[in-house]
Structure 1
Amino acid sequence: MRLGVLDVGSNTVHLLVVDAHPGARPLPAHSHKAELRLAQLLDEDGAIDPEGVDKLISVVREAVQAAEDKGVEEMLPFATSAVREASNADDVLARVQAETGVELQVLSGAEEARLTFLAARRWFGWSAGKLLVLDIGGGSLEIAYGIDEAPDAAVSLPLGAGRLTAGWLPGDPPDPESIRALRRHVRAQIARTVGEFTRFGAPDHVVATSKTFRQLARIAGAARSTEGLYVQRELKRESLEAWVPQLTGMTTHQRSELPGVSEGRAGQLLAGALVAEGAMDLFGVETVEICPWALREGVILRRLDRMRPV
């Protein structure tokens, strides 16, 4: 069965086409992305502005056409924090459905965390034991912990790299006081949740997903993406702590020249690094392993599970 997962995120609208069957590993067949940065298209009332809605509808139309061209049998469309938290979310969803035929399912932050955890669990298997999963998106940070396929604890915090960059880090490079204020804010937010997880005991394996963590691991020396999914990639807190001071003094252009950092994500890299560093420090994590599967794969796996005969 050819499935299309349409992910309307805070940074990008991403269509992932996979060949998927119950009991089999989903095989990527096509990827279609458009950088939209919905989180930055909000007006002073927290609504996605009319131009942003028009752009979203145009991008969704393109994704629908790409899915049809690739023979997608079923579309799984969803939206995350940028749409979820917009003050005009209902109007945006209604317009998207009316003008494209796509009914976006708005995931809660906890659902994002649970589905990302499911993807990580399936990737690493039962032998990984108790998993702690960290995911930094454009609008939020998801944290989940557990020993089964459903986590024992799952939270979502408004600490996405795009959101924090837009709200806390003016200037290029940003001034030291802004960086310090953001660091305090990030750590205070994360610290409030630590107790929800530590009461379950120490994890056996700590996993990080998302583009932000992949880029941080790459600049710290991890293998290139061209070396394939199955190469083990890690990010050590010691390496991250050495890189953060360097990133604070770099312009967006200078960051874009680092290995593995795309031009479109370079501006958010510092905020993402501060979140990653804060999470690893406060949870007492020395090393995270990068998981190539995340939320989109979790959505696919949940759909496949529902196809399994009882």
Structure 2
Amino acid sequence: MQEKIATICAAIDIGSNTLRVVIARCSSSEFQILDADEALVRIGESVNATGEISVEKQAHALSVLKKFKSLAEKHAANTIVAIATEAIRKATNRDAFLQAIYEQTGIEVHCISGDVEATLTFYGATYEVSQRPQSPTRIAVMDMGGGSTELVFARNLEISWHTSLPIGSGWLHDRYLSDPPTEADRTTALTFLRTYLGGLTSNLFLLCSWPRGERKHFVTPCPTCLWSRR
């Protein structure tokens, strides 16, 4: 019998709040996390304020990515896959930033769409559930990041509906909350969320053909299981 060959891969996520890396040994029958690291950079803070990634945020992110690259090399990673999400999607100087990353680290970053982010979120969040002998018939996944929130509904592990909303924890903080937030801040933020999400949540189960009386399985991804699949 031919022996299954494992590959060491590094996955990097450039999020609106946090940059993360997960390094794992992967094969068709094995998934073993070897190392992981993260850093709070808050790229979305400058994008929310000015529409672009500031010089300071770029320098911080590049420093972190160089550290991640060294960690991947330490574990002799065969492949480095890097993605960027909402804050980078919106930044007016996105292309220049991604080019600077490539020139200074050799890492090619893929800026993914909200639809792709929702899909990857689902498969990362449900990885362990999918390995069970009997997985739930219907699953809902919600992932609130710094700049966006992904919602996914699935039946028999097949996605039936998904969306990526351009609101996240960092975005809400920068737009509505002081530090520490006041009661008035919280009321304003809650009013916005109720208004923004009202139409969506009232029709969500109808959109997904999900009977209201049926038992549902909800999953909120933890960083490790999510980024290891990304």
The alignment's C-alpha RMSD in Å is 1.9
Which of 89, 113, 117 is residue 94 of structure 2 equivalent to? 89
For residues 204-246 of structure 1, what are the alpha-carbon distances to aligned partners after superposition, in whole Å with 9 as ceiling and x for unaligned?
31111246xxxxxxxxxxxxxxxxxxxxxxxxxxxxxxxxxxx
Q: After the TM superposition, which residues 14-33 of structure 1 pair with which residues of structure 2 at under 5 Å, given as runs? A: 14-24=20-30, 26-33=31-38
Q: Does the Cα contact within 8 Å between 1:43 and 1:49 map onto a contact in 2?
A: no
Residue identity matched to 2:21: L
Residue aligning to 1:106: 111
1:201 aligns with 2:175: no
Q: Does the Cα contact within 8 Å between 1:145 and 1:154 map onto a contact in 2?
A: yes
Q: Which has the higher contact order (CA 8 A, sep 6+)?
A: 2
For residues 74-119 of structure 1, what are the alpha-carbon distances to aligned partners after superposition, in whole Å with 9 as ceiling and x for unaligned?
1111111121111211111111112211111112122111111112
1:10 aligns with 2:48: no
Tell me the TM-score normalised to structure 2 length: 0.86
In structure 1, how many angstroms separate the alpha carbons of the residues matched to 2:151 and 2:138?
13
Which of 163, 167, 184 is residue 175 of structure 2 equivalent to? 167
Q: Does the Cα contact within 8 Å between 1:97 and 1:103 map onto a contact in 2?
A: yes
Alpha-carbon distance, 1:42 to partner: 3.1
**Runs of 5+ unmatched residues, structure 2:** 1-6
In structure 1, how many angstroms separate the alpha carbons of the residues matched to 2:206 and 2:159?
13
Total equivalences in the alignment = 216
Q: 1:207 to 1:44 in 2, by over 3 A?
A: closer
In structure 1, how many angstroms separate the alpha carbons of the residues matched to 2:179 and 2:35?
37
Which of 205, 213, 225 is residue 293 of structure 1 equivalent to? 225
In structure 2, how many angstroms separate the alpha carbons of the residues matched to 1:198 and 1:171?
39
For residues 30-71 of structure 1, what are the alpha-carbon distances to aligned partners after superposition, in whole Å with 9 as ceiling and x for unaligned?
012222111123374310011211221121111111110111
In structure 2, how many angstroms separate the alpha carbons of the residues matched to 1:85 and 1:192?
25
Question: Once the two structures are aligned, what percentage of the paired residues are identical?
Answer: 25
In structure 1, how many angstroms separate the alpha carbons of the residues matched to 2:198 and 2:9?
39
In structure 1, how many angstroms separate the alpha carbons of the residues matched to 2:48 and 2:160?
37
Residue identity matched to 1:22: S
Tell me the TM-score normalised to structure 1 length: 0.65
Q: 1:43 to 1:298 in 2, by over 3 A?
A: closer
Q: Does the Cα contact within 8 Å between 2:138 and 2:216 map onto a contact in 1?
A: yes
Residue identity matched to 2:16: S
**Runs of 5+ unmatched residues, structure 1:** 212-291, 300-310
Q: After the TM superposition, which residues 37-56 of structure 1 pair with which residues of structure 2 at under 5 Å, given as runs? A: 37-42=42-47, 44-56=49-61
